[in-house]
Amino acid sequence: MKRRVLEILACPLDRYHPLDLYEFLADNETIRQGVLVCPKCSRYFPIMDEIPIMLPDEMRKEKEEMEFLQKWKQKIPEAVLKSAKPFHI
């Protein structure tokens, strides 16, 4: 995901903007791995291989996302890890 996309991204559920970004792997222009968090509804959206996964809850893959959260848990704020929707640790 190009960093400038952040300027136009909103939460798909409630249209909140701007989303909080936590970067795991990134350079000046591109975020390769990270999470976006909506402070309004407490949902997180993974950025996997440069793609922000902004699907409705029922289309998200719990097993894959739990592995993602475990892998990057050192870089995700504890409040997000423990209470984010739709999945948390």
Q: State whether residue 64 is helix, strand or coil.
A: helix
- Taking CA atoms, 26 is separated from 3, 21, 29, 62, 69, in Å, by 9, 11, 8, 24, 17
Q: Does 84 bind Zn ion (CB under 5 A)?
A: no
Q: Quick one: tokens of 27? A: 């350079």
Q: Does 40 bind Zn ion (CB under 5 A)?
A: yes
* Size, binding site for Zn ion by CB under 5 A: 7
Q: Does 11 bind Zn ion (CB under 5 A)?
A: yes
Q: CB 79 → Zn ion: shortest distance, Å?
A: 15
Residues that bind Zn ion (CB under 5 A): 11, 13-14, 16, 38, 40-41
